[in-house]
Structure 1
C-alpha cells in the first residue's frame, strides 16, 4: 500500500477537500468544525485525526464517498481505496434509506441540518446508533455546490441478536 493511501491527508485532492469541508461548515453553521491552524497540510492532518467521524460525498447521481477521516474509516470498517468506491447510501440500512434521502434533500434546500440521529451500518454489518449529527452542503472555491459532508459526535454500537 502506498504512503498516499496510508496518509491520505497528504494528497492534494484530500487537502482541498479538507479545506472545503471546514470552510463550508463554518459558512453554514457560523462556527468552526475544528479549532485548528497551520499549513493546509497540517490542517488536513488535524481533520483526518479528529476524534469524531467526518465524511463527504460528491454530486454523482448515486453519490460516492470522496472523504472520510480516520474515525469514520474505522467505524465504516473501510480502507481509503474501498471508501473511494462506495456509494454513501450504503452507510444506511435499507429501512433507513427513505429517511436518509429526506434529510439530504432538506440539507440541499437549507444548507445544513443539525441534531439529527439515526442508525448507520458498517461495511461488515455492524450497526451504530448515531446522534449529534450535522449534514451540510459543500461549496467549492467559486461558492458552487460540490457535494455534502457530515459529522457526528456520539455513536453506540447496537448489539446484534
Structure 2
C-alpha cells in the first residue's frame, strides 16, 4: 500500500469514528469527491488532526500536515512519539483529565489549552475535539483529536 493510500485510510478511520460520535463528518469544503475530501483533510485542512493508539503510554500513529506544522516535527519523529509529549509537563494533568473524559463519554468538545512544540515552545490550541476511535465492531483503537491552531480561523475551511 502506498503511503498516500495509507494516510487516506487513516483519515477515513478518523472521519468514520467522528461521525459515530457527532452524526457529522469532519469539516471539509463541499463538492469534493470522497478521495479528494480525504486528501484535503490530510494535506490542506487548516485544523490539526492526529491520533494515538491504545498503548499504556499511547503513541501517535497519525498526524495531518497542519498537526505536524503546529508541533514543528517531521513526520518520522512525530509518529511513534508518546502523545503525552504533546503537552508540557505542567499541562499533562489537564490533558490526562480530558482524555479520561473522552474514555468515559466517547467525545469531548470545545477544549482549548496549551501544547508544546518540538522546541519546547508553548502554543495555544482552540476549539479542540477529542474522540474515541472505534472500528465497525466497536473495538477501541485509540483516540483522535481535531484542533484549530489559530483562533481567528476557527471554522474557516478556505
TM-score range, shorter chain: 0.7 to 0.9
Taking CA–CA contacts closer than 8 Å with sequence separation of 6 or more, which of the two structures ends up with the larger relative contact order?
Answer: 2
Q: Is the 8 A contact 1:54 1:151 kept in 2?
A: yes
Match of residue 159 from structure 1: none
CA distance, structure 2, for counterparts of residue 70 and residue 39 of structure 1: 19
Listed as ranges, the gaps of 5+ residues in structure 1 are 157-161
Q: Is the 8 A contact 1:128 1:155 kept in 2?
A: no
**Does 2:76 correspond to 1:81?**
yes
Instruction: Kindly state the Cα deviation for residue 38 of structure 1 after the two structures are TM-superposed.
Output: 2.6
Q: TM-score under structure 1 normalisation?
A: 0.83
**Does 2:91 correspond to 1:96?**
yes
**Does 2:77 correspond to 1:44?**
no
Q: Is the 8 A contact 2:106 2:131 kept in 1?
A: yes
Change (3 A) 1:154 1:79: closer
Listed as ranges, the gaps of 5+ residues in structure 2 are 152-158
Specify which of 107, 112, 115 is matched with residue 112 of structure 1.
Answer: 107
Q: TM-score under structure 2 normalisation?
A: 0.85
Q: How many residues align structurally? A: 147
Q: What is the RMSD of the two structures over their aligned residues, measured on CA atoms?
A: 1.7
Match of residue 15 from structure 2: 22
